[in-house]
Amino acid sequence: MKTQSWRSAFCAAAAALALGGVPFTGAAAQAAFPVKPMTLVVPFPAGGAVDTLGRLFAEHISAQTGQAVIVENRGGANGNIGTEVVVKAPADGYTMLLAANGLATNSSIYPNRSFNELRDLSPVAYVGYAPLIMVVAQGSELKSFQDVIDKANADPHAISFASAGTGSAPHLASELLKLTTGTSMLHVPYKGGAPAKVDLVSGRVSFMFLNPLEVVPQIEAKRLRPLVVGSAERFDLLPDVPTYKELGLPELEARVWWGFMVPAGTPKAVIDVLNAQINQAMRKDVVKEKMKQLGMVAVGGTPEEFGAFLREQVDKWARVVKASNMELK
C-alpha cells in the first residue's frame, strides 16, 4: 500500500463513508474495506454495561458499512482471555477488541501474560469513560473527602475501603489515594461488587469507589453519599459533587474507560476507516443518550490520541501496583 500521511488517510476514509468503506490502492488490495462481516470481541460476559456498549456500536457500525458486526463475548481473567483472541487474529481490521481500563493494569498485575498491550495491539478510538466516585454510607460521620484523610492521619486503623477484589478498579483507585496522600487504610476485598456494596451501605467499611451505573441509584435512594468524583470536570449525573481537580489533587483522577483496538500490524488506512466509523456513530444522538444512561462520558478522537492516553494509563497504574506490592489472590 502506498504510504500516506495520517491526514490524507483520514480524509480518504471519511470521504468513503457514504460507500461504506474506503478503496485500497497498490499491491495490498484492490477492494474496499469492509467487504465481509466483522467481529467485535467483548472480553466480558454478556449482559453487562460493557456488553451493552459493544452491541450499541456494533449495531451502528453495521448500519453505516452495510456489513454485519458480530459481538463475541470472551470473558475471563479481567479481560485477558478475550484480548488474547484479538492479539492472535489476522491484522486485517475484521477482528476488533472493545478494550477496558483493565488493559492498562493487567500488564503489571499479570506479568506472565503471553502478550503486551502496547506491542501487540493498535489503538483505534477512545470511546468513553465513567469516573469512579468515592462514596460512603448515608449515615457516615465522614462528610467530605478531607474528613477521610484527617481521620486516616489521626488513626491509621480507622479507615477501611471495600473493593470488588484485588486488582479491581476500585482497589487501584484506593491504593492511588493512599500513595498520593501518604495515609494508611485497610483494604477489604470482596468476591464481587454486590457483597462489597452491602457492607458499604451498612457502614461496615468506610468508603468505596464505584462507577456511576452502580452508585447513582443508591445515591438517589439515600443509601450512599458521594464525596468526590474522579474526573477532570464535574459529572452531569452528580453536578453538585466536587472533583479532585477542585480539591487540588488532579493526580487522583480515576476512571473506568473503553476503547476499540485491533491487532498490531493492521494497515493504517483500515484503522482510519474504523476510527471514522466509530466517531460517526458517537455523533448520533441515540448513541450519546444511551451512553449517558450507562453513566458514560463520550470521548472519541484519533487513534494517536487514544494511544497516548493508553501509554499514560499503563505507566500510571504500573507505579501504583509496584508501590502497593499488589498480589492477586
**pLDDT at position 100:** 96
State the chain's mean pLDDT as an integer: 90
Q: Residue 328: pLDDT band by 50, 70, 90 thresholds? A: low
Same domain for 139 and 247?
yes
Same domain for 50 and 183?
no
* 58 domain-assigned: yes
Determine the Cα–Cα distance for residues 23 and 3; give it in Å rounded to an integer.
Answer: 14
**pLDDT at position 4:** 42
- Domain CATH for 244: 3.40.190.10
Query: How much is the average pLDDT of 233-258?
Result: 96
Same domain for 153 and 103?
no
* 40 domain-assigned: yes
Q: C-alpha angle 313/316/318, rounded to 5°?
A: 105
The more confidently predicted of residues 6 and 216 is 216
* 328 domain-assigned: no
Q: What is the DSSP string of 154-177?
A: H-TTS-EEEESSTTSHHHHHHHHH
Same domain for 99 and 155?
no
Is the pLDDT score of 18 beyond 90? no
Same domain for 302 and 246?
no
Q: C-alpha angle 27/33/37, rounded to 5°?
A: 125
Domain stop point among 252, 272, 300: 252
**pLDDT at position 137:** 98
Residue range 171-223, pLDDT digits in tens: 999 999 999 999 999 999 999 889 999 999 999 999 999 999 999 999 999 99
Is the pLDDT score of 314 beyond 90? yes
Letter for the amino acid at 236? D
Q: Residue 327: pLDDT band by 50, 70, 90 thresholds? A: low
Same domain for 240 and 270?
no
* 35 domain-assigned: yes
Query: How much is the average pLDDT of 109-124?
Result: 92
Residue range 24-35, pLDDT digits in tens: 444 344 358 999
Is the pLDDT score of 11 beyond 50? no
206 Cβ contact partners less than 8 Å away, ≥ 6 residues apart: 136, 140, 142, 148, 158, 159, 160, 161, 185
Same domain for 226 and 81?
no
Is the pLDDT score of 265 beyond 90? yes
**pLDDT at position 183:** 97
Is the pLDDT score of 122 beyond 60? yes
Tell me which of 46-50, 52-56, 224-228 is least confident.
46-50
* 138 domain-assigned: yes
pTM above the 0.85 mark? yes
Q: Residue 326: pLDDT band by 50, 70, 90 thresholds? A: confident
Is the pLDDT score of 329 beyond 60? no
Same domain for 123 and 259?
yes
Q: How many domains does the chain have?
A: 2
**pLDDT at position 2:** 37
Same domain for 13 and 122?
yes
Domain stop point among 195, 225, 252: 252
**pLDDT at position 12:** 42
Domain span including residue 125: 6-130+255-323
Same domain for 117 and 265?
yes
Helix ranges, 203-282 (H): 212-220, 268-282
Query: How much is the average pLDDT of 226-231?
Result: 96
The more confidently predicted of residues 6 and 185 is 185
Determine the Cα–Cα distance for residues 159 and 260; give it in Å rounded to an integer.
Answer: 38
Residue range 136-156, pLDDT digits in tens: 999 999 999 999 999 999 999
* 154 domain-assigned: yes
* 75 domain-assigned: yes
**pLDDT at position 107:** 86
Same domain for 29 and 167?
no
Determine the Cα–Cα distance for residues 96 and 43; give it in Å rounded to an integer.
Answer: 11
Percent of the chain with pLDDT strictly greater than 90: 84
Same domain for 202 and 235?
yes
The more confidently predicted of residues 106 and 95 is 95
**Closest CA relative to residue 246, chosen from 229, 261, 263, 258:** 229
User: Contact at 8 Å (CB) between 264 and 120?
Assistant: yes
**pLDDT at position 31:** 57
